[in-house]
Chain A
């Protein structure tokens, strides 16, 4: 692994540690924002196509 990649991974670990060290109340507020965003995305997501990859083999993938 390159030094560059190693630094990125270390940076991400450090950021996760910082988030983990937040008070529980602060973390709960972040979780609530994540949850609300996920619900908004789900509410606005276009319907899934019935057969997104055009495969209709028996027992494989979405069936009509």
Chain B
């Protein structure tokens, strides 16, 4: 994974992407105990045009394919890892990208969504595995509840949160 992140960081250095942050399972693993996952979700604001952001991943895939990395379905395999580049179309994701935290993996810089944004996204996505991940976050106690509540309120997720707590956290 370290080598994969080095390739992604090189994409930033080569101005193929402006900024990125890791979300999904690998983002969660930054804060939680490791668990099985097959891919890395890389969120980014796709290439810009004078009219604003457009969701055009073509330059990304062209760049990577030119360096020998192969597409597999909606992924591209980089240094052994299936990587999916995802747009930050929804305001929640755009905010998560803007507030991503800088970390490192054995000396390689990496940007990761905050725990609170990962939780809000998991709640918004709402699959069973997302709810289980939310429980993991709560048990780990890694999130700032004031920040989380603020995100949930601003992105219209309070009702979902109430239903989640009734279903999973009420004895």
CA distance A47 to B34 in the complex (A): 29
Q: Is A8 an interface residue (CB 8 A)?
A: no
- List which A8-59 residues lie within 8 A (CB) of chain B: 13, 16-17, 19-20, 22-25, 27-28, 30-32, 34-35, 38
- List which B11-68 residues lie within 8 A (CB) of chain A: 26, 29-38
Residues from chain A with a CB closer than 8 A to the CB of B98 are none
Expressed in whole angstroms, the minimum distance between the Cβ of A41 and any Cβ of chain B is: 11
- List which B114-171 residues lie within 8 A (CB) of chain A: 136, 139-140, 142
Interface residues on B, range: 20 to 34
- Whether A34 and B29, one on each chain, are in contact in the complex, defined by CB atoms closer than 8 angstroms, is no
Partner of B1, one of A13, A16, A28, A38: A28
Partner of A19, one of B33, B104, B106: B33
Our count of residue pairs bridging A and B at CB distance below 8 angstroms stands at 55
Q: A31-B36, A35-B36, A38-B36 are in contact. List 11 more A-B contacts (CB 8 A).
A: A16-B32, A20-B31, A23-B106, A24-B30, A24-B104, A25-B105, A27-B30, A27-B34, A28-B2, A28-B34, A34-B34
Can you list 27 pairs linking A and B with CB atoms under 8 Å apart?
A16-B33, A17-B140, A19-B33, A20-B31, A20-B142, A22-B34, A23-B105, A23-B106, A24-B30, A24-B103, A24-B105, A25-B2, A27-B29, A27-B33, A27-B34, A28-B1, A28-B29, A30-B34, A31-B1, A31-B34, A31-B36, A31-B37, A32-B1, A34-B35, A35-B37, A38-B36, A38-B38
B residues at A contact (CB < 8 Å): 1-2, 26, 29-38, 80, 103-106, 110, 136, 139-140, 142
